A and B are shown apart, each in its own frame.
Chain A
Amino acid sequence: MNSLDFSTLGLRAINQKLQSLDPGTNEREWTITNPMGQHAIACGLTAPISVTVDGHAGFYCAGMNQNAEVTINGHAGVGVAENMMSGIVRIKGNASQAAGATAHGGLLIIEGDASSRCGISMKGIDIVVGGSVGHMSGFMAQLGHMVICGDAGEALGDSIYEAKLFVAGSVESLGADCIEKEMTAEHEKTLADLLEKAQINKDAKLFRRYGSARTLYNFDIDQADAY
């Protein structure tokens, strides 16, 4: 285990060290101590390493992650794992707004709650939230899965495209063009696999599925009042 102390090394030195690691490196286990809620920690990683941020992180922690497994032993600020391409990001606490925004791949696990716009414009990522999500989560969500073990705030899945949303608790309201959809055995299997991968103990049978009604895919003046 290699340890990097943020309070003495600072952001640039830590990111430079982690970003420069060769994909075949033997130094696979890293811990960042004293992160102090600073921004852009462990962003832009490319090597298949494991990084633990031992405390709270600010904005864009693990942003654009590729291959790495990042664990935050605390809460995460805005845009955690934004535009992630692959790998795993786990937040032991809660996540602020826009968690997993525009992310193309990988798995984002938020063990606590996520704030508003979780999964906004997601493009293929899988997101599993142990708690609840705030308003406008899944806004313009394009691809991927979002699993919400708690409740969803208002306007869930507004203007959603092809992403699949699963909610175990209540949904305050659905956004434009988002509807409840049939949960097939295949969906239930996908959901169960995601919960298992995320190591979150929740029965897949408790969830309902939401997705796009696809009425807004091509402009139609008679749908203008949907907004």
Chain B
Amino acid sequence: MDDKIPQAAPRPSATFDEYTNSEIRRAASTGIYDIRGSGAKRKLPHFDDLLFLGASISRYPLEGYRERCGTEVTLGDRFAKKPLELKIPITIAGMSFGSLSGQAKEALGRGANLAGTSTTTGDGGMTPEERGHSKLLVYQYLPSRYGMNPDDLRKADAIEVVVGQGAKPGGGGMLLGQKINDRVAAMRSLPKGIDQRSACRHPDWTGPDDLEIKILELREITNWEKPIFVKIGGSRPYYDTALAVKSGADVIVLDGMQGGTAATQNVFIEHVGQPTLACIRPAVKALQELDMHRKVQIIVSGGIRNGADVAKAMALGADAVSIGSAALIAMGDNDPFYEEEYRKLGTTAGSYDAWHLGKDPAGITTQDPELASRLDPEKAGRRLANYLKVMTLEAQTIARACGKNHVHNLEPEDLVALTVESAAMAQVPLAGTSWVPGQGY
């Protein structure tokens, strides 16, 4: 027997963990807060914490590939003369030309076209290439109004008034000087190479009463043809949804904190807003109380990754979902194929989020012509379309197993939760019990 005194193993602090300490050292060294792209990376209650029950003796399922399970969705038929008709309930979220290369925007349009869905502009305006390659294009109306003009407004298939986004509810945009080439600068009416900070509030309206008048103006300018979406970040979904409906929105876009951004402060992304899972039921409740559920459609975004997520969002009351980060991954973002180059940038495939610096090896979040040329818009569009179709098939598979002939017929009753937290947020029973936390025993 060794008579040395046993030593306890070195114990890292759970509070001051490796990442936290590295961030303290980084801040102390640079004097600048950490800016990055993407959405919340912390572990959050999410759709993975929910399970479908499937059919049983009390429910009967539909035959896979034999019995119809609809996926089409109409967006914006409350007031608009020309609502959007989508084949699938998955749309492409707003991402700007500027944050993304022209090739990447083209690929998003191509992929959306093949799958029968819409894509969305971003902060910076509409490019002719994007309009040309997108059969259904939603035009974002943002606080900065960069590139905003009535001709493009009339060319759009829908208008999305952006009040907030999940990664930074209450925050504006940021496009650092490295990505501001001549074209991006001209579209935004600003000098080349400067940091472009987008305002967090709209310049000419504040509050729901003003928003109602703003929506009236947009409808008047576009002959009441275009559906008007209102996009909100996941902070107070019950009230924001009710106020957007009151203001005259045709469609609500609800973005939880896992939703990505081109660039903002890490502290903002990780500490402001609510998880997507926590946002859906309060928003749907607001619609139901106003007798507007399925009349004003709700699109949920923020961490949608597969058909199960789509089906779960639908079951909780969404009419459609929207993807951003997942679409970029489908096109090649963070692909291990570029691992060597990611390592040179001090990161690794799967963790790369310095989208604001414009050095994306995959050629997506960049304005560098050499990097951007790496992305073939046709191939990337095809990959995106494949991915959208797989997600749709997955959602249909689940819906049929639950006996639904349309994905919209999925309902909370089809779900149980694996954790107390997710049960409380989704307002469905904890698995194996009839207990819905927050609703008594």
Task: Write the residues of chain A forming the contact surface with B, with a CB cutoff of 8 angstroms.
Answer: 11-12, 15-16, 19, 39-40, 43-44, 46, 58-60, 63-64, 66, 78-79, 82-83, 85, 97-98, 101-102, 104, 117, 120-121, 123-124, 139-140, 142-143, 159, 161-162, 217-219, 221-222
Q: Which residue of B lies closest to A216 (CB)?
A: B195
Is B213 a contact partner of A44 (Cβ separation < 8 A)?
no
Is A79 a contact partner of B199 (Cβ separation < 8 A)?
no
User: What residues of B have a CB within 8 angstroms of the CB of A12 in the complex?
Assistant: 220, 224
Is A123 a contact partner of B204 (Cβ separation < 8 A)?
no
Q: Tell me which of B145, B193, B195, B214 contacts A60 (CB under 8 A).
A: B214
Q: Tell me which of B189, B193, B222, B224 contacts A124 (CB under 8 A).
A: B189
B351 to A: closest C-beta gap in Å: 23
Is A120 a contact partner of B221 (Cβ separation < 8 A)?
no
- Segment at the interface with A among B146-154, B241-249, B271-279: B146-154
User: What residues of A have a CB within 8 angstroms of the CB of B220 in the complex?
Assistant: 11-12, 15, 40, 43-44
Is A98 a contact partner of B203 (Cβ separation < 8 A)?
yes
Q: Tell me which of A58, A102, A120, A217 contacts B195 (CB under 8 A).
A: A217
Is A219 a contact partner of B195 (Cβ separation < 8 A)?
yes
Given contacts A44-B220, A221-B32, contact A161 B205 (CB under 8 A): no
- Bound-state CA distance A83–B146 (Å) is 10
Interface pairs A-B: 7 shortest CB-CB: A44-B221, A79-B204, A102-B145, A123-B189, A217-B194, A98-B204, A64-B150
Chain B: number of interface residues, binned into ranges: 20 to 34
Is A121 a contact partner of B144 (Cβ separation < 8 A)?
yes
Is B204 a contact partner of A60 (Cβ separation < 8 A)?
yes
Given contacts A98-B203, A117-B203, A218-B177, contact A43 B217 (CB under 8 A): yes
Is A121 a contact partner of B210 (Cβ separation < 8 A)?
no
Q: Tell me which of B31, B145, B150, B223 contacts A121 (CB under 8 A).
A: B145
Is A102 a contact partner of B148 (Cβ separation < 8 A)?
yes
Is B205 a contact partner of A78 (Cβ separation < 8 A)?
yes
Q: Which of B141-177 contact A (CB under 8 A)?
A: 144-145, 148-150, 153, 176-177
B32 to A: closest C-beta gap in Å: 5
Q: Which residue of A lies closest to B33 (CB)?
A: A221
Is A63 a contact partner of B221 (Cβ separation < 8 A)?
yes
Given contacts A19-B223, A59-B210, A123-B189, contact A83 B205 (CB under 8 A): no
- Bound-state CA distance A123–B221 (Å) is 20
Q: For the complex, is B216 an interface residue (Cβ under 8 Å from A)?
A: yes
Q: For the complex, is B190 an interface residue (Cβ under 8 Å from A)?
A: yes
Is B223 a contact partner of A78 (Cβ separation < 8 A)?
no
User: What residues of A have a CB within 8 angstroms of the CB of B153 in the complex?
Assistant: 64
Q: For the complex, is B336 an interface residue (Cβ under 8 Å from A)?
A: no
Q: Which residue of A lies closest to B209 (CB)?
A: A59
- Name the prevailing secondary structure of the B interface residues: loop
User: What residues of B have a CB within 8 angstroms of the CB of A79 in the complex?
Assistant: 204-205
Q: For the complex, is B132 an interface residue (Cβ under 8 Å from A)?
A: no
Is B149 a contact partner of A82 (Cβ separation < 8 A)?
no
User: What residues of A have a CB within 8 angstroms of the CB of B188 in the complex?
Assistant: 142
Q: Which residue of A lies closest to B146 (CB)?
A: A123
Is B194 a contact partner of A121 (Cβ separation < 8 A)?
no
User: What residues of B have a CB within 8 angstroms of the CB of A43 in the complex?
Assistant: 217, 220-221
Q: Tell me which of B189, B195, B210 contacts A78 (CB under 8 A).
A: B210
- Bound-state CA distance A111–B214 (Å) is 25
B245 to A: closest C-beta gap in Å: 19
Q: 16 other contacts beyond A79-B204, A83-B149, with CB at 8 A cut-off?
A: A12-B224, A39-B213, A39-B217, A58-B213, A60-B204, A60-B214, A66-B150, A78-B210, A83-B145, A85-B149, A98-B204, A123-B145, A218-B177, A218-B195, A219-B32, A221-B32
B286 to A: closest C-beta gap in Å: 26
User: What residues of A have a CB within 8 angstroms of the CB of B214 in the complex?
Assistant: 59-60
Q: For the complex, is B369 an interface residue (Cβ under 8 Å from A)?
A: no
Task: Write the residues of chain B forming the contact surface with A, with a CB cutoff of 8 angstroms.
Answer: 30-32, 144-145, 148-150, 153, 176-177, 188-191, 193-195, 197, 199, 203-205, 210, 213-214, 216-217, 220-224
- Bound-state CA distance A143–B217 (Å) is 24
User: What residues of B have a CB within 8 angstroms of the CB of A11 in the complex?
Assistant: 220
A134 to B: closest C-beta gap in Å: 14
B138 to A: closest C-beta gap in Å: 18
Is A162 a contact partner of B145 (Cβ separation < 8 A)?
no
- Bound-state CA distance A58–B204 (Å) is 13
20 pairs of residues in contact across A and B, judged by CB atoms under 8 Å:
A12-B224, A19-B223, A43-B217, A43-B221, A44-B150, A59-B213, A59-B217, A60-B204, A64-B150, A66-B150, A78-B210, A83-B148, A101-B145, A120-B203, A123-B189, A124-B189, A159-B197, A217-B191, A217-B194, A222-B31
User: What residues of A have a CB within 8 angstroms of the CB of B191 in the complex?
Assistant: 161-162, 217
User: What residues of A have a CB within 8 angstroms of the CB of B149 in the complex?
Assistant: 64, 83, 85, 104
Given contacts A83-B149, A217-B195, A218-B195, contact A78 B217 (CB under 8 A): no
Q: Which residue of B lies closest to A64 (CB)?
A: B150
A215 to B: closest C-beta gap in Å: 11
Given contacts A104-B189, A161-B191, A162-B191, contact A140 B213 (CB under 8 A): no
User: What residues of A have a CB within 8 angstroms of the CB of B197 in the complex?
Assistant: 159
- Bound-state CA distance A161–B31 (Å) is 25
B34 to A: closest C-beta gap in Å: 12
Is A142 a contact partner of B190 (Cβ separation < 8 A)?
yes
Residue in B153, B177, B189, B190 with the greatest tally of chain A CB atoms within 10 Å: B189
User: What residues of B have a CB within 8 angstroms of the CB of A19 in the complex?
Assistant: 221, 223
A200 to B: closest C-beta gap in Å: 24
- Bound-state CA distance A217–B180 (Å) is 12
A61 to B: closest C-beta gap in Å: 10
Residue in B31, B145, B153, B197 with the greatest tally of chain A CB atoms within 10 Å: B145
- Bound-state CA distance A222–B31 (Å) is 9
- Bound-state CA distance A59–B177 (Å) is 35
- Bound-state CA distance A204–B356 (Å) is 44
Q: Which residue of A lies closest to B141 (CB)?
A: A83
- Bound-state CA distance A101–B194 (Å) is 22
B212 to A: closest C-beta gap in Å: 9
- Bound-state CA distance A117–B214 (Å) is 17
